[in-house]
Amino acid sequence: MTVSQALLSFGVAAAVGVSALLAASDVAYRLLTLAGAGYMIWLGLYLIWKTLRDGPEEPTAVADPLPAVAPGRQVVRGWLTGAGTNLLNPKVGVFYIATIPQFIPAGTPPLLMGVLLAGVHCLFSMVWFTLLIFATGFASRWLKNARSIRVIDRITGTVLVGFGLKLALEPGR
């Protein structure tokens, strides 16, 4: 749900022209890019560090870089983490800036049509992620294995650090 909410946020921003700031301002785009890169590097290093910290026989749970919270707050924390991760992705904003305006017919309220188009994109995203959830349900026995979790976390951490560094070091637009 958080991916869809972030997509919808970018859709609304593109429809009202706010996200055009990312297209017009190299500084704003670069700051958002560096914030996203820093977050990816932090998550990646945390995943790698966690797998090295755990003992070889010690079963591990899914890595969570945030401190434990009460069960009622897990939904809120999950939502904030997911929304923050997606909102720190400037490429999604640029995608919406490039696509939403060209599909708004003349005479149609831009906000209404932008929200409608973003809503359709969100619906497709939710269908896709639902399929992924069911697929991982079938693979859950393997995915719950402590060794599998360590391997997946190390690979994911390495990829996140690599993407974060690439993003941080790429020259401006």
Residue 155, pLDDT score: 93
Residue 172, pLDDT score: 66
Residue 1, pLDDT score: 46
pLDDT in tens, 57-96: 554 455 555 556 566 677 777 777 777 777 777 667 777 7
Residue 127, pLDDT score: 92
Residue 92, pLDDT score: 72
Residue 113, pLDDT score: 85
Residue found under tokens 């958080």: 2
| pLDDT < 50 stretches in the chain | 1, 59-60
Residue 55, pLDDT score: 59
Residue 148: both structure tokens together = 């599998």
Residue 158, pLDDT score: 93
Residue found under tokens 């896709």: 128
Task: List CB contacts of 143: < 8 A, sequence separation 6 or more.
Answer: 136, 149, 152
Integer-rounded Cα radius of gyration of the chain? 19
Residue 121, pLDDT score: 84
pTM of the complete model beyond 0.85: no
The DSSP element (H or E) to which 37 belongs, if any, is: helix 26-53
